[in-house]
Chain A
């Protein structure tokens, strides 16, 4: 990528024909997308479509086998520098059940080398309205609260990019609504997000861009104005079942 291209304003995530093979199996092929600051891409698709693989590549957790990409200005697969700019949330809590919320979040703030890790952890917990439960072992918290701890942990270092892999899994209605509100606040603060989810309505409510992935490839990408939430479900079903 040339200096000029890299300097182009606001491109937080930019990939070109990004792909990943495992042995002989292609999990992701030819993904080209561009996201700017404050964008939120909702990524839909059936299980096994490669969504998690794509997300892990963007997070620097998995090395691409073809194509190129930059995230937060850093060439993939990146390294420690890339990981500093990313917050990764999956449907597993990624927490230590025996430790408290505060201990979990503080461990992360220390591992990210923040100047005042305890204060940063306290702030993150407060943002997620967890301050009064911060010292209970995580295993004693409800699923919805654990999810909030996960978000606090993943965002304590103020990442530019937040990647979420099916975060609405296992949440009831009020939990989903709360999560949606938190993510909207993140987006409003300028965080760029990629949200993998099966919940089309919740995803579209947050999204500036929507894409469908099937068999490792993006089959349909569109930007906010053209998305019609009412008909999207039909569009999705069409793309997913067609050719299966």
Chain B
């Protein structure tokens, strides 16, 4: 019996991660990009005018989207060169499982970059992010889910167009704004020592975004790969 959606998705996710692990180029690119961004913003900033507590959340989540895009790019481009996607499409698995599998792999990718980027921001900006590790992990997870839900779908579309690398950011970034705003605001609240309950409103917004777009993108995905 052919595997149902979740097992098939996990097979595909494992395959994507195995490939990434072998080559590692995309991961290191995204990681180095994130670190460079964090460092460059440090030099672009006047520490007497803006405190690190004010700057760090914006830098963290802004860079998160841009480095996330690097990982998302390769999600479907690795299927293109030898038309391996046709092998997936020819298998008796649901189309949604292909989306889900790739989204899960992208989620792991993005989370792995964040695991290094967040301590890096603490290190370079001197802000006590890791004190709030649990809340921050929750924010990061929800932000990553939203990023990956939309980005995986647009990656599938962009790869079939003439301007793939240019198109993915242009399409995706407006959709990342309702992720960055809540994530940055909630993080800023945490850093200024406010109780976690003040961030709950932002988290609810993130949660709503995640639910709406995971469902919408999963429903839309078959239209982007089938004829």
Contact = CB atoms under 8 A, between A and B. Distances in A.
Chains A and B bind each other: yes
Contact of A113 (B3, B23, B81, B86): B3
A108 B8 CA distance: 11
Interface stretch (B14-22, B118-126, B158-166, B211-219): B14-22
B81 A110 contact: no
Interface residues on A, range: 20 to 34
B39 interface: no
A160 interface: no
Contacts, number: 79
B90 A88 contact: yes
A218 interface: no
A181 interface: no
A196 to B, nearest CB: 15
A78 B160 CA distance: 25
A108 B87 contact: yes
Interface in B6-41: 8, 11, 15, 18-19, 22-23
Contact of A111 (B11, B22, B227): B11
Given A83-B91, A84-B2, A96 B15 contact: yes
Given A62-B227, A111-B91, A111-B93, A93 B82 contact: yes
A83 B90 contact: yes
Contact of A90 (B2, B86, B88, B227): B86
B201 interface: no
B88 A111 contact: yes
B77 interface: no
* A59, A96, A153 interface centre (most CB from chain B within 10 Å): A96
Interface stretch (A10-18, A38-46, A97-105, A170-178): A97-105
A80 B1 CA distance: 11
A98 B19 contact: yes
A94 B82 CA distance: 5
Interface of B: 1-3, 8, 11, 15, 18-19, 22-23, 78, 81-84, 86-94, 226-227
